[in-house]
């Protein structure tokens, strides 16, 4: 008994002092620049200006948008899919962690057997009869994690859970940004519709003017035809805007989990100014983008897979123990003499597998290299998205100022040509041209504002929406 206990103690010491084979994880380098290229000419945010944590859309100051964004978390079905995947990943952490503890099971059974007197190979003179067996046992099995295979499996599952949490946040951010983008597109459509409706009224007045001049003999019939054509064309444009608006409204309804037929937004022209988005420094982007953080966690997971593959080259040590009672009937099953127990250990070592372990190891190393490349590419894509939207906002801000001057000039030109037409100095073609130029410039001004708002949403999304990589540590279990 003492020798057995000493052997068990020695195995326990080995288990507690077991090493972990395989490489230690080192976070791979990522391409980072000291500053953003397109910040030249960008208005930097004041220290008090920061993206709100979580509710980043509040930076736009639109209560209606705020209310819509709050509905995504509870109603969007794609987000529920991502949340379910995170729950499954967390459950896999618990599944792998269970291997760190012994597996204990119990067995209870009763059986009765009667041998046949006419069975094969049974001597006619042999005595046959019946026998019974009653068994109650408690069994334990435990694999000693000498080489870290189990611990690395737990770590890999934890890192996958953290990466899946990053995927969830990426999906959440994408859906929130899509809703904000669609919302501003809808409001821009409202602004276009308002402009076209007002222009239709102005063109109706112009048509009345040409009719009056025609009736008075001061203008030819062709002026009336031109005015009517201009009016009808503008009415068609106003009608076409309704299609675009309806489609954006349907998209918003789907994002918040509402059937399009049961959802509606009252018309309100876009009048929001593009916010001043704080961009920070490029190195912060690695911590602010959930997709970058998720990609880095998968690099760490791939590193654990290399260690797991390497542990397969070493022997597996398993402890087994069993204790219980066995008797021939219920009457003697629990007697002291019916006690049984067994304690033992087994060591298993693969000697030849035709190169299977080597292939698994090569797969793990190739997988690691692929995840490192994916991590670096994700980082590069993130920097591109920030730079793209920075330059878009900077250029569009300048363009909006130039376009405002163009609108004012076109309106003044239209006023002058209309007065000259009333006075009989110019023909109606000059008025038609001025009307077309004015309407085109006004619509372009609204479109520039729409693009600025969209670029602002995409810039916030590219910056991670106020998220921080420290949130991932809450997802590991």
Has residue 128 been placed in a domain? no
Angle formed at CA 392 by CA 180 and CA 442, multiple of 5 degrees: 75
Has residue 341 been placed in a domain? no
For residue 294, CA distances in Å to 160, 266, 361 come to 8, 39, 24
Average pLDDT of the chain to the nearest whole number: 89
Residue bearing the bigger pLDDT, 471 or 156 = 156
Has residue 117 been placed in a domain? no
37 contacts 312 by C-beta, under 8 angstroms: no
Residue bearing the bigger pLDDT, 329 or 67 = 67
Q: What is the pLDDT of residue 119?
A: 64
CA pair distance 301, 159, nearest whole angstrom:
6
CA pair distance 96, 111, nearest whole angstrom:
36
Which pLDDT tens digit goes with each residue over 168-213?
Answer: 999 999 999 999 999 999 999 999 999 999 999 999 999 999 999 8
Has residue 136 been placed in a domain? no
Has residue 437 been placed in a domain? yes
Residue 7's pLDDT band (cuts 50, 70, 90): low
Task: For residue 124, give the 3-state DSSP assignment.
Answer: coil
Residue 118's pLDDT band (cuts 50, 70, 90): low
Which pLDDT tens digit goes with each residue over 220-245?
Answer: 999 999 999 999 999 999 999 999 99
Task: For residue 118, give the 3-state DSSP assignment.
Answer: coil
Q: What is the pLDDT of residue 48?
A: 44
CA nearest neighbour of 137 among 355, 325, 281:
325
Residue 117's pLDDT band (cuts 50, 70, 90): low
Element (H, E) at 137: strand 130-144
CATH classification at residue 67: 1.20.1600.10
CA pair distance 187, 230, nearest whole angstrom:
25
Residue 1's pLDDT band (cuts 50, 70, 90): low
Which pLDDT tens digit goes with each residue over 372-411?
Answer: 999 999 999 999 999 999 999 999 999 999 999 999 999 9
Give the count of domains, the chain. 1
Q: What is the pLDDT of residue 8?
A: 53
Residue 460's pLDDT band (cuts 50, 70, 90): very high
290 contacts 164 by C-beta, under 8 angstroms: no
Q: What is the pLDDT of residue 13?
A: 47
Residue 155 has pLDDT above 80, yes or no: yes
Q: What is the pLDDT of residue 39?
A: 79
CA pair distance 456, 276, nearest whole angstrom:
8
Residue 453 has pLDDT above 90, yes or no: yes
Q: What value does the mean pLDDT take over residues 41-55?
A: 61
Residue 128 has pLDDT above 50, yes or no: yes
Residue bearing the bigger pLDDT, 53 or 342 = 342
Residue 225 is part of which domain span?
A: 14-75+147-314+355-474
Lowest mean pLDDT among 39-43, 142-146, 162-166, 187-191: 39-43
Residue 16 has pLDDT above 50, yes or no: no
Has residue 140 been placed in a domain? no
Structure tokens at 426: 């110019």
Has residue 110 been placed in a domain? no
Q: What value does the mean pLDDT take over residues 137-145?
A: 93
Has residue 46 been placed in a domain? yes
448 contacts 473 by C-beta, under 8 angstroms: no
Residue 477 has pLDDT above 60, yes or no: no
Task: Report pTM.
Answer: 0.86
Residue bearing the bigger pLDDT, 105 or 45 = 105
Angle, helices 149-215 vs 428-462, to 10°: value is: 170
């Amino acid at each position: 008994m003492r020798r057995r206990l000493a052997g068990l103690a020695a195995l326990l010491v080995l288990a507690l002092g077991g090493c972990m084979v395989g490489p230690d994880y080192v976070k791979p380098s990522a391409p980072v620049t000291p500053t953003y290229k397109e910040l030249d000419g960008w208005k930097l945010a004041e220290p008090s200006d920061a993206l709100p944590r979580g509710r980043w859309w509040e930076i736009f100051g639109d209560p209606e948008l705020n209310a819509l964004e709050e509905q995504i978390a509870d109603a969007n079905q794609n987000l529920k899919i991502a949340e379910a995947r995170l729950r499954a990943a967390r459950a896999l952490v618990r599944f792998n962690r269970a291997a760190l503890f012994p597996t204990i099971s119990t067995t209870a059974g009763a059986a009765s057997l009667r041998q046949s007197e006419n069975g094969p190979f049974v001597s006619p003179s042999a005595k046959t009869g019946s026998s019974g067996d009653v068994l109650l046992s408690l069994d334990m099995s435990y694999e000693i994690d000498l080489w870290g295979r189990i611990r690395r499996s737990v770590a890999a599952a934890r890192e996958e859970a953290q990466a899946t949490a990053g995927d969830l946040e990426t999906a959440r951010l994408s859906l929130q940004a899509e809703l904000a983008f669609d919302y501003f597109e809808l409001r821009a459509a409202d602004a276009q519709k308002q402009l076209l409706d007002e222009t239709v009224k102005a063109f109706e007045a112009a048509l009345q003017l040409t009719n009056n001049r025609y009736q008075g003999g001061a203008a030819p019939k062709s002026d009336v035809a031109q005015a009517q054509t201009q009016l009808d064309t503008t009415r068609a444009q106003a009608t076409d805007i309704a299609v675009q608006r309806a489609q954006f409204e349907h998209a918003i309804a789907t994002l918040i989990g509402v059937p399009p037929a049961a959802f509606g937004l009252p018309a309100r022209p876009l009048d929001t100014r593009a916010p001043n988005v704080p961009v920070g420094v490029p190195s912060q982007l690695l911590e602010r983008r959930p997709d970058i953080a998720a990609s880095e966690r998968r690099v760490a997971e791939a590193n654990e897979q290399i260690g797991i593959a390497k542990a397969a080259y070493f022997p597996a040590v398993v402890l087994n123990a069993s204790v219980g009672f066995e008797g021939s009937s219920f009457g003697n099953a629990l007697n002291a003499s019916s006690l049984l127990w067994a304690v033992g250990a087994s060591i298993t070592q693969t000697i030849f597998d035709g190169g299977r372990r080597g292939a698994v190891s090569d797969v793990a190393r190739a997988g690691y290299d692929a995840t490192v490349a994916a991590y670096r590419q994700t980082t590069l894509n993130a920097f591109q998205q920030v730079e793209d939207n920075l330059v878009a906002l900077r250029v569009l801000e300048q363009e909006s100022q130039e376009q405002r001057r163009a609108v004012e000039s076109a309106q003044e030109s239209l006023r002058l040509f209309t007065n000259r037409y009333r006075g009989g100095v110019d023909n109606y073609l000059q008025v038609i041209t001025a009307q077309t130029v004015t309407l085109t410039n006004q619509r372009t001004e609204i479109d520039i504002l729409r693009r600025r708002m969209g670029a602002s949403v995409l810039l916030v999304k590219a910056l991670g929406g106020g998220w921080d990589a420290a949130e991932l540590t809450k997802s590991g279990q």
